[in-house]
Amino acid sequence: MLIEEDTVPEPNSDLAVETSDLVKHFGDTRAVDGVDLKVPSGTVFGILGPNGAGKTTVVRMLATLLIPDAGHARVLGHDVVREADAVRSRVSLTGQFASVDEDLTGLENLILLARLLGISKTRSRERAAELLDAFGLEDAADRQVKKYSGGMRRRIDIAASILATPDVLFLDEPTTGLDPRSRNQVWDIVRVLVAGGTTVLLTTQYLDEADQLANRIAVVDHGKVIAEGTSGELKASVGSGAVHVRLRDAGQRPEAERVLTERLGTEVYLEHDPVALTARSADAGRVSGAISELTASGIAVAEFSLGQPSLDEVFLALTGHPAEENDEETEEAA
């Protein structure tokens, strides 16, 4: 026991979630293979990775639905295995699939869950009505959830998760399968939740979602964290920014490639688009020099832009394969 105590890391009060060397097997597959995470309180933390990377498994362990095979995880200072009930009383999980009863109406679902949390009968009704209103679902209150659209299901699901305001909210792929407008609504809800003081840990396979919402991002592949940081840090870790140039005349591209290679001193990529070129460079002075040189050499530049690499490029650089490559691998949904 004493020896075991030694290996348990000291809880850190500024961290909402802290894991060390977390492992979970499913048969022969190491779904989660030694994950270390530190999620500061009051922030949005994104776990980014393709299908089958182990994102859902991590979240299910943190929400006390799965018992880790090895390693430790603390949520708000409580061990997820030994103090599971203490964790459950302060966190909520919105899963990949609607985690409300589809046969019941939206109102009944919220009242049912409020009652299960120990909220009184009258207060449960008030609270349910309040949340339906806040999520724009008051017209659908008396309709069965199975008749809801995808976006409405997500919203009732999130509403069910905040009946008693959680200190930590786990959102497992909150926008998978949603149309762009519903996705924006969910993003707005997440922003308001964080403004209200809740820590949000979300998983996503959408790079722009992590970019939009998360303060910090852990990139996960094959059960391991392969990179962690702010979106800016991740982009910087891949290298400098990029300059994108578009020409008027595709015939001038070989000449433009030569000029850019010479002036920037880096490799220049020829894109699919026959008038487009991309090169890595963070030095604005050199870039403007190179553009002037192009014009001086009689090459007509239609447009150019300086920007950071996209998270897609980050993923490719970190893993050697694009994020969407192994879509056929199914996430362990059971």
Partner 1 sequence: MSTHSASTHVHNGTPAVDEKLLAALSTRERPTRPNPVQVSLTFGWRALLKIKHVPEQLFDVTMFPIMFTLMFTYLFGGALAGSPREYIQDLLPGILVLTVAMITMYTGLGINKDINKGVFDRFRSLPIWRPAVLVGALFGDVLRYTLASIIVIGLGLLLGFRPDGGALGVVAAVALLLVFAFSLSWVWTALGFLMRTEESLMAVSMMILFPLTFISNVFVDPSTMPGWLQAFVDVNPITHLSSASRGLMHGDVDTSQIGWVLLACVVFVAVFGPLTMRLFRKKE
Give the binding site for partner 1 (CB under 8 A). Answer: 26, 60, 63-67, 85, 88-89, 91-93, 95-105, 108, 112-113, 115-119, 127, 130-131, 133-140, 144, 147-149, 151-152, 160, 162, 164-165, 181-182, 185, 188-189, 192-193, 195-198, 334
Residue with tokens 């290996």: 7
Nearer to partner 1, 142 or 249 (CB): 142
3-state secondary structure 207-233: HHHHHHHCCEEEEEECCEEEEEECHHH
Residue 285 token pair: 């002075």
Read off φ and ψ for residue 205, nearest 5 degrees: -110, 5
Task: Provide the minimum distance between the beta carbon of 6 and partner 1 in the complex, in angstroms, as a whole number.
Answer: 28
Q: Residue type at 10?
A: E
Task: Provide the minimum distance between the beta carbon of 51 and partner 1 in the complex, in angstroms, as a whole number.
Answer: 18
Nearer to partner 1, 156 or 256 (CB): 156
Nearer to partner 1, 91 or 243 (CB): 91
Contact yes or no for 180/9 (Cβ under 8 A): no
Nearer to partner 1, 26 or 304 (CB): 26
How far the first Cα of the chain sits from its last, in Å, is: 33
Q: What count of other Cβ atoms lies within 10 Å of the Cβ of residue 261?
A: 15
Task: Provide the minimum distance between the beta carbon of 107 and partner 1 in the complex, in angstroms, as a whole number.
Answer: 11
Task: Provide the minimum distance between the beta carbon of 71 and partner 1 in the complex, in angstroms, as a whole number.
Answer: 17
Contact yes or no for 50/221 (Cβ under 8 A): yes
CA dist., res. 244 & res. 304, Å (int) = 5
Nearer to partner 1, 192 or 300 (CB): 192
Nearer to partner 1, 195 or 296 (CB): 195
Q: Residue type at 78?
A: H
Task: Provide the minimum distance between the beta carbon of 29 and partner 1 in the complex, in angstroms, as a whole number.
Answer: 12
Nearer to partner 1, 185 or 205 (CB): 185
Task: Provide the minimum distance between the beta carbon of 284 and partner 1 in the complex, in angstroms, as a whole number.
Answer: 36
CA dist., res. 226 & res. 210, Å (int) = 15
Calculate the CA dihedral of residues 144, 145, 150, 152 and round it to 10 degrees: 90
DSSP state of 250: G
Task: Provide the minimum distance between the beta carbon of 218 and partner 1 in the complex, in angstroms, as a whole number.
Answer: 22
